[in-house]
Amino acid sequence: MRIGAYSYIRSYSKLLGIAEIGRYCSIGRNVTLGLPPRNHPVDWVSTSTQFSRQYTHQLAPTVIGHDVWIGNNAVVMAGLTIGHGAIIGCDAVITKDVLPYEIVAGNPARSIRFRFDKAIIEQLLASKWWDYDKHELEKLDFQDIIQFTQNIWKLNQKAQLSLIEIKGKRVRPG
């Protein structure tokens, strides 16, 4: 499992079969990521663990993109991809992939809306802003999406942004 820089996971959360959590992710309390859809064999005579200790269910890994916000008590089922910039509401149960910059909520979760229009989303995804040095990013206005997308391209074209690779295994307990 890989967890990107500047991401945090609040207490009582469970990470099951997670391949990657991107940078700048905010994961709330008591969130379950990668919950298997079938912990018990539904097509056997009994679902009891007394008879099914050898049962295994192959699952694809769960992937959380960059800059994803997941609200408290949310559940993301195994094998799903949560796109960059997505927002998952509190208590949501995610049973299918979430697109980049999509806001979803409910049980089962449904799409509420997208954070930005399609053109802005394409610009943000193409910029891969999350890969750049945090200190350079702090110079940009994150409150104004139009200004941000214009300025990230200007800085990128002038080669004033440098990619940063953070290596190591430092984990700070919460």
Q: Supply the residues annotated as catalytic.
A: 40
The number of CA neighbours under 13 Å toward the Cβ of 4 is 22
Amino acid at 96: K
Amino acid at 151: N
